[in-house]
């Protein structure tokens, strides 16, 4: 598993550790229907804890989220009150690793997550595309926002919307989930 993860992260680390000013990580755009279909788990949750750990020369941030609403996931997974994520990058003492394109998490933040299952943790699908931050807009409505700073997209004219109406996103997610995916 570690070898597979290292192969997966190597291109990202080259960009993140290059001493030149590297402006972006390029990823394939995942429209909401595809993001929904490819996700193993979709949840509305609140970030409860973030901790950074070193594994060899890499830094990883472990994120614990408390699930408030399950939109997609197997019956056995949906019994869990919390989920554990692991994302490359983080700050440990004086060391800091920024992986351009990878979402970051703050304790207390409300999030809508599209996740892929790994053997011992979850991973945001499509890097920053798999995390929406939920907050109220100026009118008091719930908004779902994604931060695409440093990310560019392949096969996409223009950028995907960064800020959307939360309830509209949830309606679309429910519509795109195959009937067999939710027991």
* pLDDT, averaged across the chain: 81
pLDDT given for residue 114 in this prediction: 96
Check pLDDT > 50 for residue 48. Answer: yes
DSSP 173: H
**Per-residue buried b or exposed e for 48-77, using 16+ beta carbons within 10 Å of the residue's own CB:** eebebeeeeebbbbbbbbebeebbbbeeeb
Q: In this structure, are strands 82-88 and 110-117 parallel, antiparallel, or unpaired?
A: unpaired
Average pLDDT, integer, range 35-56: 95
Average pLDDT, integer, range 99-126: 92
Domains delineated in the chain: 24-181 (2.40.50.120)
Q: What percent of the chain has pLDDT over 70?
A: 77
pLDDT level of residue 176 (50, 70, 90 thresholds):
confident
Average pLDDT, integer, range 144-166: 68
Average pLDDT, integer, range 151-171: 69
pLDDT level of residue 67 (50, 70, 90 thresholds):
very high
Cβ-count burial of 177 within 10 angstroms (0-12 exposed, 13-18 middle, 19+ buried)? middle
pLDDT given for residue 63 in this prediction: 97
pLDDT given for residue 24 in this prediction: 63
Check pLDDT > 50 for residue 147. Answer: yes
pLDDT given for residue 9 in this prediction: 52
């Amino acid at each position: 598993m570690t070898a597979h993860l290292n192969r997966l992260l190597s291109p990202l680390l080259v960009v993140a550790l290059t001493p030149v000013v590297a402006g972006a990580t390029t990823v394939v755009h995942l429209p909401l229907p595809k993001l929904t279909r490819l996700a193993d788990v979709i949840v509305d949750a609140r970030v409860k804890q973030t901790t950074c750990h070193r594994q060899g020369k890499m830094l990883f941030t472990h994120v614990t989220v408390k699930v408030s609403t399950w939109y997609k996931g197997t019956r056995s997974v949906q019994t869990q009150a919390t989920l554990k994520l692991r994302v490359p990058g983080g700050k440990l003492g004086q060391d800091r690793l920024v992986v351009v394109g990878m979402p970051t998490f703050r304790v207390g933040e409300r999030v809508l997550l599209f996740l892929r299952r790994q053997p011992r943790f979850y991973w945001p699908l499509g890097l920053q595309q798999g995390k929406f931050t939920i907050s109220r807009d100026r009118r008091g409505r719930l908004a779902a926002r994604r931060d695409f700073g440093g990310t560019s997209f392949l096969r996409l004219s223009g950028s995907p919307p960064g800020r959307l109406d939360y309830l509209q996103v949830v309606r679309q997610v429910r519509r795109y989930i195959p009937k067999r995916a939710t027991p």
